[in-house]
Amino acid sequence: MTQPAKPLDGMRVVEVAHYVAVPAAGALLADLGADVVKVELPPKGELYRRSRPLFTGYKSEFPEGPGFHLDNRGKRSIVLDLTRPEARDVVLRLADRADVLITNLLPARRRKYGLDHESLLERHPRLVVGAINGYGTGGDQADEPAFDYSAYWARTGMMDLLRDEGVPPSMLRPGVGDHAAASNLVCGILAALRLRDGDGRGRYVEVSLLQTGFHVLGCDTAMALVTGEPIHRHDRKRAQNPLWNSYPVADDRWIMLVMINPEPYWPRICDAIGKPEWVTDERFADGFARAANAEQLIAELEAVFLGRSLAEWRPVLDGAGLIWSPVQTLPEAIRDPQARAMGYFAELEHPEAGRFEIPGGPPFRIQGHDLGARSPASAAGADAAEILREAGLDLDETEIARLAGGG
């Protein structure tokens, strides 16, 4: 049976990027059917490729960075030394036959290598050029290097807000802001391709980590813009709505209640936890009373929840039809029966390590279409000869090595 075409079948993408944000966008484009050629840096390809679990304290013998395969699945690889004019010419040849070029080179480096969007669009007017940077290409920080830890997490106020009162700021987990920015870039590229369908002209699409952070933190950002006041951090001991809060349970675990509109759920939870008398208790009778007595109610709820384990509470809370979740560890989350039932993880085959899993495909589905790349990242430069032939260059191994900075 013939598989339905993927949305971007026949599209060619050139990726001149490293680390996470732009490569993650390239992986999403590959999931959608695009042929993505990844230009890696000499001599051994991208540094992120070599982030083996052993290097960061894990026991796994996996030979490369799992995150690298997540963000470079389904692509072909060529290693090019962009300091060499002949290597830069190869990139331009690849761009000449491409629909999209994506990069995270800083603007000054793009201009230095002739990969700025103005030069690319002058040479190839139908090309869509996409870029992610830290702070945008206007202002004084266009060429300032950044990671999502700085531009997305710390700079936007997110790092300050996402902690309880009295707790020091926490580090961001790897790639969180980068993956959000990647989705933004893909959205912009798809819109630019749609515009090109109408008028035949390519476009430049730009995403910054700073703006992505403001977008993700949008509710609080909007409140700050309107009020001009500091945003209140969550304080679980004094939360105005005790049914929208976290609680410890007996076995050193936590649960999260998320009854944002608590009124329909108040009788249910009182009955479920064995406190039906709270329904008519004047301290807790309605939302205003519960807010006024929040500290007392939270303390009493905490005492109740500490009386049973997570395994004991699960059927009770589910049976009452409450909106809640266990606070799972990541090893628990990747075994979650619902995630498994939905196929949210994909299996790939590594030539040395065998079969392994990654978060599967794009974070959405299109009915009737099997999306998602099914191959891991190529070895560094493994596809160079094939890619060069497609660009009209039939080179031998010595010439290919020279393009990669090998002499």
Q: 188-239, pLDDT tens digit by residue?
A: 999 999 999 999 999 999 999 999 999 999 999 999 999 999 999 999 999 9
Within 13 Å of residue 86, how many CA atoms lie on the same side as its CB?
Answer: 12
The number of residues making up the chain comes to: 407
Identify the architecture of domain 244-327 in CATH: 2-Layer Sandwich (3.30)
Residues near 288 by beta carbon (within 8 Å), at least 6 away in sequence: none
Three-state DSSP class for residue 249: strand
pLDDT digits (tens, 9 = 90+) for 67-118: 999 999 999 999 999 999 999 999 999 999 999 999 999 999 999 999 999 9
Ranges of each domain in the chain: 12-218+337-403, 244-327
Q: For the whole model, what pTM was predicted?
A: 0.95
pLDDT tens-digit profile of 294-313? 999 999 999 999 999 999 99
Model confidence over 46-75: pLDDT tens digits?
A: 989 999 999 999 999 999 999 999 999 999
pLDDT at position 407 over 90? no
Confidence of residue 1 (pLDDT cuts 50, 70, 90): low
70 vs 276: CA distance, rounded Å: 49
Q: Where are the beta strands (DSSP E) in 271-344?
A: 324-326
In the prediction, which pLDDT does 43 show? 83
Which residues neighbour 118 within 8 Å (Cβ) at sequence distance 6 or greater?
none
Residue with tokens 């515009």: 195
Cβ–Cβ under 8 Å, residues 297 and 270: no
Q: For the domain with range 12-218+337-403, which CATH number is right: 3.40.50.720, 3.90.1150.10, 3.40.50.10540, 1.10.600.10?
A: 3.40.50.10540
Domains 12-218+337-403 and 244-327 share a fold: no
Look at residue 166 in the predicted model and tell me its pLDDT. Answer: 83
Pairing of the two strands 345-350 and 324-326: unpaired
Residues 27-38 have a mean pLDDT of 97
Task: Compute CA 192 distance to the chain's CA centroid, rounded to the nearest angstrom.
Answer: 21
Res 2 pLDDT > 70: no
